């Protein structure tokens, strides 16, 4: 495994033991930061147990806190844990209004009648889980503690592979690199890197952050046992045939993630079908695929489709299998969107929807309905249109999450990019930052809002679902993906418009208008723009305010160009300061809620307080 950063000159390779130690320290610190991010936003702030502000008359704080405050302008973050009678303390900078803190000191803990002491990540996790359990009179959540422990272990492994600040020049290399450089994961999730079910060997073999690539496993399946749909002229098995091994005419070659193949071979129905010869195991073969940031969606340069494969691994919140009803629902979403493509191309020429026009699976028709369903979901494959077929020839596609929300690696990449652009344009870095950000907001907000307000279609454009196309390093294209996560409002898409799909798939597709807005607003503003602005603003209040002024400008412009009464109501609320809704990832995991049942908490909306001047205008 490569452990030397491309940023290090030749001859400066660190000893492997040093790299492992540094990776462990970085993983531990990041765990503390994400846990505090979640707990402060979801629990402490709504309950009035959080204070972030200048130091005021405290004499008992650790010397490290005082020294940090003397060194740079910052705020003190204090958290009360009333049920266990403890306190937490840290120094923070950055965009504290939205909770996007930059932690400038270690985290200190004060138990009742004891002095302040440093906390490690495991002690912090245990304190927060104990406080939550006592608040809600529940037993300790040992499952979540184990997921946090798993996330730290995975983070330690991936942080041993540093990310270059330089984006590769070749568009294909740049795209692969962006998908495989999401080192830190979601900054407001308690287990951003957990993947339960992978062994240490599996982690090395299949994790995108470790720059992996691998061939697929294949099974030869009787054509009568294939369940598939396609919106294209060709069937799904025909679409994958060019990259599949040759099989008999009455069989279909079905691709499977290599880890999933091992899981399926142990399933009773599959084991029996293999033993009888009904299914044939073709082993692992063919050209390599690259795992993308989602781990189970695979990219192969030149292939017109990503393969979104089932993986019975719990990654962050969910077991990442293609549920049978999700195969149907993704297809229906594609069916709804296809007639809109000419309008979208006309109104938003930079938008590229990564269609999911076909799926395939194996249905053995067994009398045991539950076990048969497990087989259908275990073999499930969705084809997603490749970025190669959608990108403009002069654009470089990059996962937005590799540029933002990726801690110091994303920060380094964007600083390098914006500094070079400013030099080319003979302007200041701040002015170029505002121009670049304005182009990004326009590419992101306009089509997502239009799909929701004009058509009742709810995309989830968080940083891992957005691929940005850069033309001469400026935003020129925006690719939206993951039709499985797209929902529809029943007012615009009633049951009468969903003939031919199952009731379970239909119910999974619907969000009411309020649910839909919460998900859109969370993904656009909290998961995306808050992260982008916190990074670009770098803790500087004046620049941060001007970036929020850019958002305000585009809200006005969107309403003028594309708006209707529904968008006016929501946009006027944002302009007046109505809080953003933030999904409760920590609480969802603690209470073991399904993602669909997520609750939301308010996040302060800085738009009304943004400055009026923009350097780039």
Residue 504's Cβ-count burial label (10 Å; 0-12, 13-18, 19+) is: middle
| pLDDT value for 446 | 98
What pLDDT is stored for residue 180 in this prediction?
A: 97
Q: Shortest CA distance to 227 belongs to which of 385, 356, 378?
A: 378
How far is it, in rounded angstroms, from Cα 173 to Cα 538? 29
In the predicted model, is pLDDT for residue 449 greater than 90?
yes
- Provide the percentage of residues in the chain whose pLDDT is more than 90: 82
- Phi/psi of residue 291, each to 5°? -70, 135
**Average pLDDT of span 218-224:** 98
pLDDT digits (tens, 9 = 90+) for 371-404: 999 999 999 999 999 999 999 999 999 999 999 9
Q: Residue 15: pLDDT band by 50, 70, 90 thresholds?
A: low
* Residue 566, pLDDT above cutoff 60: yes
The per-residue b/e assignment along 310-347, b for 16 or more CB within 10 angstroms, e otherwise, is bbbbbbbbeebbbbbbbbbbbbbbbbbbeebeeebeee
Q: Please state which of the ranges 71-80, 143-152, 423-432 shows the lowest mean pLDDT.
A: 71-80
Q: Please give the CATH number for the structural domain made up of 16-158.
A: 3.30.310
pLDDT at site 354: 97
**Which of 62-66, 184-188, 317-321, 446-450 ranks highest by mean pLDDT?**
446-450
- Residue 613: per-residue pLDDT: 53
Give the DSSP letter of residue 328. H
Residue 1 has pLDDT above 60, yes or no: no
327, pLDDT greater than 60: yes
Asked if pLDDT for residue 12 goes beyond 70, the answer is no
Global confidence as pTM: 0.93
| CA 207 – CA 139 distance, rounded (Å) | 33
Res 612: pLDDT = 60
Sequence-ordered list of residues with C-beta below 8 angstroms from that of 507, at least 6 positions apart, any chain:
none
Q: What angle do CA 355, 361, 362 make, to 5 degrees?
A: 175
- What pLDDT score does 598 carry? 86
The residue-averaged pLDDT of 134-162 equals 94
Q: What is the mean pLDDT of residues 468-486?
A: 96
Residue 4's pLDDT band, with cuts at 50, 70 and 90, is very low
Q: Residue 114's closest CA among 83, 86, 78?
A: 86
Pick the residue with more confidence: 573 or 6? 573
Share of the chain above pLDDT 70, in %: 96
Question: 215: helix, coil or strand?
Answer: strand
pLDDT-derived band at 615, boundaries 50, 70, 90: very low
Give strand ranges (E) for 189-265.
195-196, 214-222, 226-230, 251-256
Nearest to 378 by CA among 203, 251, 219, 500: 219
What's the rounded mean pLDDT across residues 185-194?
A: 94
Q: Where in the chain is the domain with CATH 1.10.510.40?
A: 396-609
Average pLDDT over every residue of 239-266: 96
Average pLDDT over residues 297-302: 97
Mean pLDDT (whole number) for 540-548: 93
Q: How far apart are alpha carbons 356 and 329 in whole angstroms? A: 10
d(CA 341, CA 412): 36
pLDDT over 60 (residue 78): yes
DSSP string, 349-409: TTEEE----EEEEE----S-HHHHHHHHHHH-EEEEE-HHHHS-TT-EEEEHHHHSSSHHH
Average pLDDT of the segment spanning 79-86 = 95
Every domain range in the chain assigned CATH 3.30.310: 16-158
Backbone angles phi, psi at 372, to 5 degrees: -65, -40
> Pick the residue with more confidence: 265 or 613?
265
Does residue 483 carry a pLDDT above 70? yes
Query: Per-residue pLDDT averaged across 476-493, rounded?
Result: 95
Q: What band does 595 get if pLDDT is binned at 50, 70 and 90?
A: confident
CA–CA gap between residue 237 and residue 123 (Å, rounded): 51
| Confidence tier at 315 by pLDDT (50, 70, 90) | confident
Sign for the pseudo-dihedral over CA of 154, 486, 505, 518: positive
Average pLDDT of 70-89?
Answer: 92
Output the pLDDT for position 18.
76
Q: Is the pLDDT of residue 616 over 70?
A: no
Tokens, residue 124? 């912090």
What average pLDDT does the structure give for the chain? 93
CATH class of 396-609: mainly alpha
Question: What is the average pLDDT across 120-127?
Answer: 96
The single residue listed with the structure tokens 């781990």 is: 295
Task: Compute the C-alpha angle 361/364/368, nearest 5°.
Answer: 120
Specify the pLDDT at position 464.
95
């Amino acid at each position: 495994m490569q452990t030397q950063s491309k940023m290090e000159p030749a001859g400066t390779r660190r000893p492997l033991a040093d790299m492992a130690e540094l990776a462990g320290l970085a993983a531990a610190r990041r765990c503390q930061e994400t846990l505090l991010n979640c707990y402060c936003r979801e629990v402490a702030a709504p309950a009035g147990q959080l204070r972030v502000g200048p130091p005021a008359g405290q004499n008992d704080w650790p010397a490290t806190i005082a020294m940090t405050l003397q060194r740079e302008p910052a705020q003190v973050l204090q958290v009360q844990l009333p049920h266990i009678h403890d306190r937490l303390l840290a120094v923070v900078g950055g965009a504290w209004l939205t909770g996007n803190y930059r932690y400038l000191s270690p985290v200190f803990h004060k138990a009742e009648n004891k002095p302040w002491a440093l906390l490690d990540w495991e002690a912090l996790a245990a304190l927060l889980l104990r406080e939550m359990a006592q608040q809600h009179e529940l037993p300790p959540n040992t499952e979540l503690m184990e997921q946090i422990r798993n996330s730290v272990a995975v983070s330690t492994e991936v942080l041993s592979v540093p990310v270059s600040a330089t984006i590769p020049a070749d568009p294909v290399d740049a795209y692969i690199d962006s998908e495989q450089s999401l080192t830190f994961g979601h900054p407001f999730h308690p287990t951003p890197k957990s993947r339960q079910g992978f062994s240490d060997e599996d982690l090395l073999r299949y994790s995108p952050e470790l720059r992996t690539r691998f061939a697929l496993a294949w099974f030869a399946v009787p054509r009568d046992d294939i369940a598939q749909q396609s919106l294209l002229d060709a069937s799904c098995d025909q679409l994958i045939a060019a990259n599949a091994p040759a099989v008999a005419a009455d069989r279909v070659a079905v691709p499977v993630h290599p880890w999933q193949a091992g899981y399926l071979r142990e399933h009773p129905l599959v084991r029996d079908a293999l033993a009888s010869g009904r299914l044939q195991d073709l082993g692992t073969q063919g050209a390599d695929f690259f795992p993308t940031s989602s781990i189970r969606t695979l990219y192969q340069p030149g292939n017109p489709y990503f393969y979104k494969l089932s993986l019975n691994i719990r990654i962050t919140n969910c077991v990442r299998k293609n549920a049978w009803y999700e195969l149907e629902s993704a297809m229906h979403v594609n069916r709804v969107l296809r007639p809109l493509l000419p309008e979208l191309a006309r109104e938003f020429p930079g938008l590229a929807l990564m269609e999911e026009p076909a799926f395939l699976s194996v249905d053995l028709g067994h009398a045991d309905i539950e076990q048969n369903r497990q087989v259908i979901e275990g073999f499930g494959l969705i084809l997603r249109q490749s970025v190669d077929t959608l990108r403009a020839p002069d654009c470089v596609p990059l996962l937005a999450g590799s540029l933002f929300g990726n801690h110091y690696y994303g920060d380094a990449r964007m600083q390098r990019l914006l500094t070079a652009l400013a030099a080319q344009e003979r302007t200041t870095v701040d002015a170029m930052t505002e121009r670049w950000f304005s182009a990004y907001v326009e590419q992101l907000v306009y089509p997502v809002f239009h799909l929701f307000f004009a058509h009742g279609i709810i995309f989830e454009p968080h940083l891992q679902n957005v691929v940005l196309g850069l033309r001469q390093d400026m935003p020129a294209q925006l690719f939206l993906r993951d039709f499985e996560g797209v929902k529809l409002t029943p007012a615009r898409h009633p049951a009468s418009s969903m003939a031919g799909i199952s009731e379970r798939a239909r119910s999974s597709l619907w969000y009411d208008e309020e649910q839909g807005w919460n998900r859109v607003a969370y993904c656009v503003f909290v998961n995306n723009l808050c992260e982008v602005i916190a990074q670009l603003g770098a803790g500087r209040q004046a620049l941060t305010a001007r970036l929020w002024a850019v958002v305000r400008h585009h809200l006005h412009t969107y309403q003028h160009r594309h708006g209707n009464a529904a968008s006016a109501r929501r946009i006027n609320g944002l302009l007046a300061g109505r809080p953003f809704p933030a999904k409760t990832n920590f609480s969802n995991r603690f209470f073991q809620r399904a993602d669909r049942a997520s609750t939301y908490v308010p996040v302060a909306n800085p738009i009304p307080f943004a400055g009026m001047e923009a350097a780039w205008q």
